[in-house]
Structure 1
Amino acid sequence: MTQPRTTRRVIAAALSVGALLATAACSSGTAASPAASGSASAATGANWDETGPITYAQGKDTSGNLKAQIDQWNKENPNEQVTFRELSDNADEQRSEMIKRAQAKSGEFTVMSVDVVWTSEFAANGWLTELPADKFNTTGFLKAAVDSATYFNKLYAMPSSSDGALLYYRKDLLDKAGVQAPTTWDEMQQACDKVLPGQSGMSCYGGQFQKYEGLTCNFAEAVNSAGGAILGEDGKPTVNSAEAVAGLTWMQNGFKSGMIPKEAITWKEEESRQAFQTGKILFLRNWPYVYNLASAKDSKVAGKFDVAPIPGKTGPGVSTLGGHSYGISAFAKNKGTAMKWINWMLRPENQKDQLLKASSAPVLESLYSDPELVAKFGYLPTLLKSIQNAKPRPKAVAYGDVTLAIQDAAYAPLNDVRKSPQTALDDLQAKLTTLIK
């Protein structure tokens, strides 16, 4: 749920912020698929000289830092005021509010916080304004984040935050057993075989396996980390390939063997985090927001864990990409002010401030090696590797239907280990072929 998303992602002191970050990292929409329409109208006729008041819409500002930044802008730009429209903290409800106005051709929301999985849908329907390169400079931005804001090689939004999955592990227990952090699934199993015999009540691995957007993220990572893909380079489904089947089979075998505890079938981000923090699992796949919560004084694993890239079949795995972008409504006035405000918000000092105060992972690559930030957020170099290697979820106009189909197909073999992964993915291949034109 970008959840999730999450929507998103890199460490707040409060649990509520962490939950919001997770939602943003892996978020989805489940409304009915919109009617297809061309996006050319969004690319033409934009008046970048028109200025005046604008409205920015996004999910709940839990940290309060966004309001502080907007207040600063408004103080410095009295003739180009920005009004913050705070939406629900539920990603589906945010998407619904944006679509409702777009379908009515309303420019009420000038700028919208668009989840990475919404870009294709919004652009294809002509709801977003195409952003010209001479006014929106993406130099130095994370390539994966820019790609997520691009539709048919045209930029329709400016990345505002990013995210990638991390493997949390009990460094104290691995060090005691003389084991290194795993880079492959087999190495992770070998580490568990060596460590767990002396740890009563502890299982090997946990992720997010409940039937929701988090499962789409975990499934996509398993498929991509086995060398497969949900969609091929031509955009057509390839989800029943031998490699994709190998990814889902690894997940199913985890439940069969007990590597993944049975109760994990109900886990979302928070349940899996709590399992790791209370010593129930040795390894955890989750988002960066977990880091500070697991490091808190009341955490049982504080000072005992570390992070690494998620493992894959033959080497480091492939994370699912999370994050949000600033999109400008095709129907809004004062696009010149929208342009200036977005570029102001994306200045290095503002992105750094967002990470420090709101736990929002930056989209400027240089900030991941900033000494002050790395000292405070030790996972940043690892997160950068995760994001650089990440892949987006399917770029589909009917994403809400696509993700539900993926969740149904992936959940069945995990919930009932008698269900064949090959059969599940053959069925999914047929379903996606009807959904993705």
Structure 2
Amino acid sequence: MKAARLSVVAGVALVGLALAGCTGGGSGGSGGGGDANSGLDSKGPITYVQGKDNSNVVRPLVDKWNASHPDEKVTFKEQTDKADQQHDDLVQHFQAKDSNYDVVDVDVVWTGEFAAKGWLQPLTGKLKMDNSKLLEPTVKSGTYNGTQYAAPQTSDGGILYYRKDLVPEAPTTWEAMLKDCDIAKAKGIGCYAGQFAQYEGLTVNVAEAINTDGGTIVGEDGKKVTVDSPEAKKGLSRLVDGFKNGQIPAEAITYQEEQGRQAFEAGKLMFLRNWPYVYNLAKTDGESTVKDTFGIAPLPGVTEGKPGVSSLGGHNAAISVYSKHKATAFEFLKFLQSEETQKFFVTQGSLAPVVASLYDDAQLNSQLPYLSTLKTSIENAVPRPVSPFYPAITKAVQDNSYAALKGDKTVDEALKDMASAIQTASAG
């Protein structure tokens, strides 16, 4: 695939993945679980449900499957490109106990909600997946309360873009990066930015800061509130202090993914936290002023030799508990995870694979030079809380961290109010 083609695909597919894939969606209602023991041996036609196939990866794969499975054909049900609408469509059909939504594409932040309501088929027993070739954090993103409910399909992780003409080596710690801010100040440009507008991207950035300092937002059960901690305070304080000290420019409070990318490409930033899709655009956009002067690196950590923690992006595939042909659905999940399919995802759609070995493939790395850096990011990634209350959690994180970044609340007040809001939601 030519670089120009990769740029277009990355711009369409990965912006959609990064932006839509990071949306929490609505809260959904109760639907009542189906029978997880029915249809385990049944084979037949199934329907696969996913958001808009902008990069044309789903249809060729479905055609390939259907050519070799004439009695177990897959019908592709294409949703909109809006993550909240995708979420609500799935909720509606689960509540209706619709057996025609056999395999569904699940954002990594929806797993806990759907599993807790009994809508997803546990991937245990006859339906146990072989995860031995996968990046471990991707498996965790499909796991709730110790049980796997969704099979990793595509992934994503945050990386650091930096001006290698200004800083020859990427900083590996936050302390080192902030020292480099003197260089940015001398050049009259902003030092560091991420995604700090009040939306899902803010949850991603705040979670990364908290996790990098060893803190968590909720416990592994998805319910116990853990965010009001010294570690979380260190992480959030780092971002708040960055705004106070001008190391993060004031305008970054309005940045989503695209505003940060545009500022970096225009030469207005020295460091940018963003997703891999930026790489090809920064290299090929006509208006990019940094085509030959930027590098990529893992997110900085707090101690030397340990990269920062990325929030895990991506999508997983799950079997509806109401499916009548779970044996076929299971085989389709394995098909989506096959090395051949995963290679197609990355070459056709610039979608990050979940099979670890592909990140070391020399041919793929020559096409997509960010792969080795992305592997480090994903290997050190932590899923956002896998919780049945995720919509309430992300709202609490966004509302209170945004207030702290603006100076309307202290860090202590923000974390206390965040914890209280999450506790109220989980108790309900």
TM-score for both structures, normalised by structure 1: 0.91
Which residue of structure 2 lines up, in the alignment, with residue 228 of structure 1?
215
The alpha carbon displacement at 1:159 in A equals 0.5
Match of 2:196 in 1: 209
User: Is the aligned partner of 1:423 residue 2:418?
Assistant: no
Tell me how far apart the structure 1 counterparts of residues 110 and 207 of structure 2 sit (CA, whole Å): 17
Q: How does 1:30-429 map to 2 (within 5 A)?
A: 31-35=26-30, 44-132=36-124, 134-135=126-127, 136-175=129-168, 180-193=169-182, 195-200=183-188, 202-233=189-220, 235-296=223-284, 298=286, 299-315=288-304, 316-415=307-406, 417-429=407-419
**Amino acid corresponding to residue 184 of structure 1 in structure 2:** T
CA contact (8 A) 2:28 2:88 kept: no
Q: State the Cα distance separating 1:12 from its structure 2 match.
A: 4.8
Please list every run of 5 or more consecutive structure 2 residues that lacks an aligned counterpart in the other structure: 1-5
Q: Distance in 2 between matches of 1:81 and 1:232?
A: 41
Structure 1 position 384, deviation (Å): 1.1
Question: What amino acid does structure 1 have at the position aligned with 2:400?
Answer: A
Q: Quote the offset at 1:219 in angstroms.
A: 0.5
Mean Cα deviation higher: 62-71 or 278-287: 62-71
What is the CA distance between 1:13 and its match in structure 2? 3.9
Across the aligned residues of Structure 1 and Structure 2, the Cα RMSD in angstroms comes to 1.8
Taking a change above 3 Å as real, the CA distance of residues 46 and 131 of structure 1, as seen in their structure-2 partners, is: farther
Distance 1:52 1:418, change over 3 A: closer
How far does residue 14 in structure 1 lie from its aligned partner after superposition?
5.5
Aligned to 2:3: none
The question of whether the paired residues in 2 share the 8 Å contact of 1:222 and 1:312 is answered with no
Find the aligned partners of 1:133 and 1:361 in 2 and give their Cα distance: 28
CA distance in 2, matches of 1:65, 1:79: 22
On the 8 A contact 2:31/2:95 being kept in 1, the answer is no
Question: What one-letter code is carried by the residue in structure 2 that aligns with 1:325?
Answer: N
- 1:16 deviates by 2.8
Amino acid at match of 2:318: G
Query: Higher mean Cα deviation, 45-54 or 270-279?
Result: 45-54
Aligned to 1:432: 422
Alignment partners' CA distance in 2, 1:353 and 1:78: 22
Q: 1:65-88: per-residue Cα shift (whole Å, max 9, x none)?
A: 211111121122222111111111
Whether the aligned pair in 2 keeps the contact of 1:59 and 1:88 (CA below 8 Å) is yes
| Counterpart code for 1:205 | Y
Does residue 39 of structure 2 align to residue 23 of structure 1? no
CA deviation profile, 1:302-342 (whole Å, cap 9, x unmatched): 12111111113334211101111110111122222211222
* Separation of aligned partners in 1, 2:373 and 2:264: 19
Corresponding letter in the other structure for 1:120: G
Whole-angstrom CA distance in 1 between matches of 2:256 and 2:99: 35
- The one-letter code of the counterpart of 1:408 is D
TM-score, normalised relative to structure 2:
0.93
Aligned partner letter, 1:187 = A
Per-residue deviation, 1:428: 1.0
What displacement does 1:25 show?
4.2
Q: Given that residues 257 and 274 in structure 2 are in contact (C-alpha distance below 8 angstroms), is that contact kept between their aligned partners in structure 1?
A: yes
How many residues were matched structurally? 417
Q: Which moved more, 1:239-248 or 1:88-97?
A: 239-248
The answer to which of 426-435 and 364-373 deviates more is: 426-435
Q: Helix, strand or coil for the counterpart of 1:56? A: strand
The answer on whether the counterparts of 1:396 and 1:436 sit within 8 Å (CA) in structure 2 is: no
One-letter code aligned to 1:223: I
Structure 2 CA distance, aligned partners of 1:203 and 1:428?
A: 29
Instruction: Please give the per-residue CA displacement for 1:41-63, whole angstroms capped at 9, x wherever unaligned.
Output: 55x31323312211111111111
1:185 Cα deviation from its structure 2 partner: 1.4
Q: Distance in 2 between matches of 1:151 and 1:45?
A: 19
Instruction: Kindly state the Cα deviation for residue 418 of structure 1 after the two structures are TM-superposed.
Output: 4.8
Hey, what's the Cα distance between the residues in 2 that align with 1:197 and 1:410? 26
Structure 2 SS opposite 1:167: strand
Amino acid at match of 1:279: G
Structure 2 counterpart SS, 1:48: coil
Q: Provide the identity percentage.
A: 46
**SS of aligned partner of 2:394:** helix
- Check conservation: 1:129, 1:156, Cα contact below 8 A: yes
Greater shift in the superposed pair: 241-250 or 134-143: 134-143
Q: Is contact 1:12-1:289 (8 Å) kept?
A: no
